[in-house]
Chain A
Amino acid sequence: DSGVTQTPKHLITATGQRVTLRCSPRSGDLSVYWYQQSLDQGLQFLIQYYNGEERAKGNILERFSAQQFPDLHSELNLSSLELGDSALYFCASSVVGGGASELFFGEGSRLTVL
């Protein structure tokens, strides 16, 4: 158990819909990261928040947005969903916001868009 909690574990929805994925980081971790893993792809970095502020942005689509709340949990919002958005979405957390640091991953949220 990494200490990172993600909900829901599985989600099935239709194209055009909007979903919200939730992440609670490990106790004491200030940074939250979101990654997407599609079929046959590695983990693609989407976005990082540190103590409520956006710290780094990766290959995140404009249809996607995220935020980190004062209690440090984070939500990833995916809208106007397309078939290609079907993937595993991982949240990870770390203590620091910059420099070398290992990340602790949740079990992921599997999104299926039909």
Chain B
Amino acid sequence: DQQVKQNSPSLSVQEGRISILNCDYTNSMFDYFLWYKKYPAEGPTFLISISSIKDKNEDGRFTVFLNKSAKHLSLHIVPSQPGDSAVYFCAASGANSKLTFGKGITLSVRP
């Protein structure tokens, strides 16, 4: 039972353009959402988060949008850079703080 779903396994965008990474969840008890970035041979690193009381959180080139009614969140990267090429994991947690991760999406930014 996949409670956090990243349905697209990969995304390729041109440098300078916008990258939009999508994530859907099924558990209505989730109230905190995070994005992690993972480079090969490294552990995931925290990128940005959003609480369920907000619908948008911005940090530099990265913005996360949350649509609670649709149980959907998205990560926007503008402008995309080649160094952004990595695997991006969406994660969600509820009251017990256990993070449930999606399968990840591989972003490739073409120079």
| A residues adjacent to B (C-beta < 8 A) | 2, 4, 31, 33, 35, 40-45, 48, 55-56, 58, 90, 92, 94, 96-108
Tell me if B49 counts as interface (CB < 8 A to partner A): yes
Shortest CB-to-CB span from B26 to chain A, Å, is: 14
- Cβ contact within 8 Å between A42 and B101: yes
- Cβ contact within 8 Å between B89 and A98: no
Tell me if B84 counts as interface (CB < 8 A to partner A): no
Q: Which of B14-22, B38-46, B69-77 makes up part of the contact surface?
A: B38-46
Given A102-B34, A105-B45, verify A45-B100 contact (CB < 8 Å). Answer: yes
List 11 other contacts, CB 8 Å, given A102-B34, A104-B46, A105-B45. A4-B43, A41-B103, A42-B104, A44-B101, A45-B99, A45-B101, A96-B97, A100-B31, A101-B97, A105-B44, A106-B43
At the interface, is chain A mostly helix, strand, loop or mixed? loop
Name the interface residues of B68-95: CB closer than 8 Å to any CB of A: 89, 91, 93, 95
Residues in B whose Cβ lies below 8 Å from that of A33: 98-99
Tell me if B32 counts as interface (CB < 8 A to partner A): yes
- Cβ contact within 8 Å between B95 and A98: yes
Once bound together, how far apart are the Cα atoms of A53 and B91, in whole Å?
A: 24
Once bound together, how far apart are the Cα atoms of A71 and B96, in whole Å?
A: 24
- Cβ contact within 8 Å between A103 and B99: yes
Residues in B whose Cβ lies below 8 Å from that of A99: 95, 97
Tell me which of A35, A98, A103, A107 contacts B96 (CB under 8 A). A98
Residues in B whose Cβ lies below 8 Å from that of A96: 97
Shortest CB-to-CB span from B93 to chain A, Å, is: 6
Residues in B whose Cβ lies below 8 Å from that of A97: 97
Once bound together, how far apart are the Cα atoms of A35 and B32, in whole Å?
A: 19
Residues in B whose Cβ lies below 8 Å from that of A48: 97-98
- Cβ contact within 8 Å between B32 and A103: no
- Cβ contact within 8 Å between A107 and B97: no
Given A41-B103, A42-B89, A42-B104, verify A100-B44 contact (CB < 8 Å). Answer: no
